[in-house]
Structures are given as structure tokens and as C-alpha cells.
Structure 1
């Protein structure tokens, strides 16, 4: 089986932009790259690798931690795939029970307690990973970032507030001050969440206005701030 990147993205539910980033950081390389046109291709082994990545993402581990786990000489791939299937089945059952619970409440039949097997399994597998790889620098960095999330969110809020002030002052997205602010945003994301390449940054700029959740979050600093941030990023990345 040989798939172009768009086919592979649709099959796995991961965006093309994310696959480019995984290639860039060495987490998931294409099985083949056409030397003439640069097209990326993926195969069955790529699909297995993606399934493993998705399993550890489900457990909330950073990409750096996942890369270190997958490259470990004693890593058990088959065990990870088996556990992912079990975890996803538990997640599916939990969602079905939650839907049943909502249906029951709408009918006035009372609350149906959801099954906690998914959370129990997730915590169990995460703890096993912690015990096995908890001493690695990548894992420690991942945990530290999780601990500092509230502080990071506050820093990001401050960056968006500065964007709002620039917008209110009449700054153009093409101005040097706007470009400096975009660099500040990119650095804030990289330092506190994940490596924000220019490609990822461009995608975020589109998402800030396309996704109503992000738009509302940013526009709390002032109506139109999300659109202004998006235009600043577009100008910066072109």
C-alpha cells in the first residue's frame, strides 16, 4: 500500500500540516519522497507508526517524549497497539453511556452513572509509562510543561492583549510592530506548548478566525482582535 500525504491524512484523521511537522522533527518520516517533485508517500509501516503516536497522544504525552519512547530498544510495539485498541473501545463505551445518560435525563428517568473504565485505563497506562520512562529528560520536560500550563496560558493572554492594543492604535498588519508581535506570539507558543514553525503559525492564523472557540477566546481582548492577529500572521508568513 502506497499513499500520498493527503490520502494518509484522511485515513488517519491527522492534518497534512501536522504530518509535515512530524516529518520535520523526525517523529514520522514518509516511507518515500519523490526526488523530482518532493511528494511524500506513506505505507503500512507508516500507518502502524501513526497508530503508536496516536496512542501516546491519547495519554497526553509530548511529541518529544513519544519520540524517545518509540526509539527505545525495549519498546514493545505490539503491546502499544493492543493497548490502544482496548483504550479506544473503553472510550467508545464511555461515550455511548454518556449519550444514554443524556437521553435518560431528557426523559426524566434520572441520571445514569457513566462507566469510568476509560479513565482508569488511561491513568493506568500513563502511570506505567511514567515508571518506565519517567527518568528521561523528555518526560520531565513534558510534565513540567503540564504543571506550568496555567502560567503559560496567562502569558499567551498577555500576548493577545498586546495585539488588541496594536489594533486599537491603528497599527497595520504589515507594520514592523505587528511583525515583532507575531514573533513574540510564535516564541511564546514554542517556549510553553510546542515548537511553532512558520508553517504551523500560518495554520494557527487561519484557525484563529475559522474556529469560533478560538475567535471568541481572542476577541475577549476586543472585538476584531482575532481577525487582526490572523492578518498579522498572514503578513508575517507570506
Structure 2
């Protein structure tokens, strides 16, 4: 079976020899063979492991998180690849939407366009959207009216960017949950930070909204619509992630 020297592997993977030496030192990627004179040699298993590492790095995972994931006794390489594919798809969707918005801007689709509240829920079945809005108005009438007022005041471009970004963020959190990510991990907390700031924009209430956001975590846990998302108890995942996040915010 073909063995790669550290130099050949570095060239094939597009990384530096120094990077592979570092991965060896920290135990992230050990060579399959170390010769008597100290040469590192890598086989197919190490090549596949390096691929996993590079995919996770592309998705902004830290090296400690990557090590924790791929060193787990129950680590499933195929399942990991499928999860990474979903995360990359979500990122591609977000970039495609941003590109579309840029194209519209270049074509001089400018200015504020008056929207109505139905357009805020575009993409949902009409009856479902009406039912959700009715439920929200009964529970939080002032908050919903304030939020709709802010959103209707946006241009269509601003609203589409906000909506598509939030959707991509939510899909990424669901995928991380499905992959068994720790709610307190750096990667999840990065997405929760994005989620918090999206929520503030939807609410139309900039500034510190720690208690309100913590309450949102309770709602995720209590709402059966969020049970099972991503193949795991998503409501519990979101509550735990939000609870961890708010401890880092000023009271």
C-alpha cells in the first residue's frame, strides 16, 4: 500500500509540512510509521483522517474541538462526512442568497419597498403562517407588533438578507445538534452568538436583552415543534446552548 512522506502529503493536501508536524505533536494526526531515522510515513487511514480535519477547519471548528470529535470512540467517518456535507450546503445556500442580493443591488433595485405582514412570513404555508402569527399575538402582542413594525420598515433587500441569514444559522444549529455537538462548544457558541443578534434584529430591540433571550430558550424546550429537529432533541440543545451563552453576557 502506498505510503506518503510528510512532504508528499503536505503537497497533496495543500497544507504546509510545518502544519503536519504540529498535528503530529499535538496528537491530532500521527503517521502510521516512523522510520528508524525519524521519517514520518502516512497511509490511507491518515489521509482520510486529515481530510476530516481539513473539512472541520473549513467549517471553522477549532483544533481542540476537532480532536474531541474525531477521537471519540463512537466516531463514524461516514456520518461525519454526511454532516459536513449538510453544513457546507447550508453555507453555500447562504452565499448564493447573498450573491442574489448583490445582483439585485447592482441592477439598481434600491430604496424602501412597503411590505405588509404577510410578506414577513413568505415561504410558509399561508394557513400555518396565519396560525403562528395569531398564536404569537395572543402571547406577546406588544413584542410582535414592535417586531413587525421594524421589519416592515426595512427594504426588501435588507429583509431578505436578514431572513436568509437567520434560516442558514438555524439550519447550521440543527445540523450541529444532529451531529452530537456539545451545546457549550466554541463552534456551537459562535452560531448561538449569531442567533442572538439575529433575534435582536427581528425583535427590533438592540442592546441587552439577556433575560428575554434566556426565556426564548425555555420556549424552544417547551415547544414540540422543536423536538426531533436534526435527529436529536433540538429544543433541549437550544436551551442548553442559550443558557451557556447568556452566562457570558453582561447582566
Q: Which has the larger radius of gyration?
A: 2
TM-score normalised by structure 1 residue count: 0.46
